[in-house]
């Protein structure tokens, strides 16, 4: 399978954004076919790549299925936050099902067997889903900012209609962003299987497209998250030191702190995972002669993909309501004896139930 990566007048084959000519064929060309590239790699590295892809893919799917079930049960979390976190889980699940899981078999055989049409679907879904992830995290930050800093405007700015509208607009906006290159591509085929990264996913053939997309997705979202997190932190500090203003008096420090922990942990993890990959893409788009080892490209992308699997651990570590519901779900799956399940739940979680009930009764935006 062949494609061009344009940087000035140079082109390459088998790479998403960095040219590779150190494994050129004997006839002097700077292209290496997928099967040659596969069998020029050590066996142990090919096995490790397949194992990494399989582990990340399965973790993404299972983790986000747990997220969807548990988040639908956690009534103590503000509804708007649950709405955006559920949407985030759906987008991450799409990454696992459509982009990552299908990459397992090609990593074994060394080429993409599913055809160009599915490759376009995989590439668009991959880019759109990771974009929606960071947008959802940003919206959680905005919701908490309004609740903590502008509580008197909360019900005007954050309501069911606005939340549903925001979620509904995210998907077409992200899909259009990553479908646009197909319109100008030959035969509408823009996305190609990358033999170095072992996926038919994100593609950055046009430097201008890469830079613009990078600025308005991760950079703009990062600035938004930084502003909202700092603002919420300042309000919470005033509420704990006893300096209460009319607006901080209406906040709920315990709920805000729990949500702030989720927000900060999720945002930091996202940028830590995706940071190396974004830097590689930006450098390659600006400096065309830069070459990156294939193992670096592979690890950068699959560390970025692993971000879609870690949210279940973040929610469990930072929110006791999520942790309690996840434990109940695990018991329901593993315990076949209903009576045993009931007794274990009552004995182990009586204290957690009391705390949850207390928070729920005192929460003004529990609905």
| pLDDT of res. 25 | 34
Question: Three-class SS of residue 166?
Answer: helix
CB pairs under 8 A, 24+ apart, for 3-6?
Answer: 3/189, 3/192, 3/205, 4/205, 5/205, 6/205, 6/206
Biggest CA pair distance of the chain: 76
Place of tokens 């949407």: 87
Given this model, what pLDDT does residue 281 score? 83
The CATH label, of 1.20.1070.10, 2.30.40.10, 3.50.50.60, 3.40.50.300, for the domain at 42-319 is 1.20.1070.10
pLDDT for the residue 2: 39
Query: Which pLDDT value is given to residue 358?
Result: 54
* DSSP-derived secondary structure for 40-89: TS-HHHHHHHHHHHHHHHHHHHHHHHHHHHHHHH-TTS-HHHHHHHHHHH
Residue 339 buriedness (CB in 10 A; 0-12 / 13-18 / 19+): exposed
pLDDT of the residue at 239:
65
What's the token pair of residue 252? 């709920």
Q: Summarize the confidence of residues 4-33 as an average pLDDT.
A: 38
Would you call 9 exposed, middle or buried from its count of C-beta atoms within 10 A (0-12, 13-18, 19+)? exposed
The SS3 of residue 7 is strand
The whole-number average pLDDT for the span 227-236 is 84
What tens digit of pLDDT does each residue of 244-299 get? 444 444 445 555 677 777 788 888 888 899 889 988 888 877 777 778 888 999 99
Decide: 9 and 28 in contact? Cβ < 8 Å.
no
Pairwise CA distance, residues 147 & 78, whole Å: 10
| Residue 367, number of CB atoms within 10 A of its CB | 7
Q: Which residues of 244-253 are buried (b: 16+ CB within 10 A; e: fewer)?
A: eeeebeebbb
For residue 32, the tally of other CB atoms under 10 A from its CB is: 21
61, 96 Cβ separation under 8 angstroms: yes
Task: Give the per-residue pLDDT at 78.
Answer: 81
Six token digits for residue 184: 């100008």
**Residue with more model confidence, 347 or 201:** 201
Q: For the whole model, what pTM was predicted? A: 0.76
State percent of the chain over pLDDT 90: 30
Closest CA to 37 of 196, 202, 192, 203: 196
Q: Is the pLDDT of residue 18 over 50?
A: no
Q: What is the pLDDT of residue 332?
A: 76
Long-range interactions of 314-318: CB distance < 8 A, separation 24+: 314/262, 314/265, 314/266, 314/269, 315/67, 315/70, 315/71, 315/85, 315/262, 317/265, 318/258, 318/261, 318/262, 318/265
Q: What is the DSSP letter of 307?
A: G
Q: What is the pLDDT of residues 94-127, one digit of tens each?
A: 999 999 999 999 999 888 999 999 999 999 999 9
Cα 228 from Cα 234, distance rounded (Å): 10
- Judge whether 226 and 138 are in contact, CB under 8 Å: no
Calculate the CA dihedral of residues 43, 48, 50, 52 and round it to 10 degrees.
-170
| Ranges 27-31, 88-92, 142-146, 194-198: which has the least confidence | 27-31
Both tokens of residue 312?
């279940």
Which comes out higher in pLDDT, residue 196 or 347?
Answer: 196
d(CA 135, CA 340): 42
| Domain positions in the chain | 42-319
């Amino acid at each position: 399978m062949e494609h061009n990566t344009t940087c000035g007048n140079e082109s390459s084959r088998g790479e998403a954004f960095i040219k590779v000519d150190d494994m050129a064929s004997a006839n002097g060309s700077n292209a290496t076919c997928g099967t040659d590239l596969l069998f020029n790699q050590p066996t142990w590295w090919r096995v490790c790549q397949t194992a990494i892809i399989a582990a990340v893919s399965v973790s993404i799917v299972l983790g986000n299925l747990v997220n969807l079930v548990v988040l639908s049960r956690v009534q103590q979390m503000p509804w708007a936050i649950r709405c955006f976190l559920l949407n985030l889980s759906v987008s991450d699940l799409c990454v696992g099902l459509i982009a990552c899981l299908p990459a397992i078999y090609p990593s074994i055989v060394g080429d993409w067997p599913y055809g160009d049409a599915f490759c376009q679907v995989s590439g668009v879904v991959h880019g759109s889903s990771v974009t929606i992830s960071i947008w959802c995290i940003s919206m959680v930050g905005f919701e908490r900012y309004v609740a903590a800093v502008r509580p008197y405007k909360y019900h005007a700015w954050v309501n069911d209609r606005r939340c549903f509208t925001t979620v509904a607009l995210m998907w077409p906006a992200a899909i259009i962003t990553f479908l646009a290159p197909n319109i100008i591509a030959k035969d509408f085929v823009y996305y190609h299987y990358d033999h170095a990264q072992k996926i038919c996913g994100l593609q950055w053939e046009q430097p201008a497209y890469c830079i613009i997309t990078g600025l308005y997705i991760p950079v703009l979202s990062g600035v938004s998250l930084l502003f909202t997190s700092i603002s919420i932190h300042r309000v919470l500090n005033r509420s704990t030191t006893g300096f209460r203003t009319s607006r901080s008096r209406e906040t709920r420090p315990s709920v805000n702190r729990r949500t702030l922990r989720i927000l900060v942990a999720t945002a930091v993890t996202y940028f830590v995972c995706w940071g190396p990959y974004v830097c590689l893409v930006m450098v390659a788009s600006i400096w065309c002669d830069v070459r990156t080892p294939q193992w670096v490209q592979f690890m950068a992308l699959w560390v970025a993909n692993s971000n879609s699997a870690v949210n279940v651990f973040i929610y469990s570590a930072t929110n006791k309501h999520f942790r309690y519901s996840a434990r109940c779900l695990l018991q329901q799956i593993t315990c076949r004896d209903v009576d045993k399940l009931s007794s274990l739940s009552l004995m182990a979680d009586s204290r957690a139930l009391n705390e949850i009930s207390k928070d729920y009764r005192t929460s003004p935006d529990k609905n």
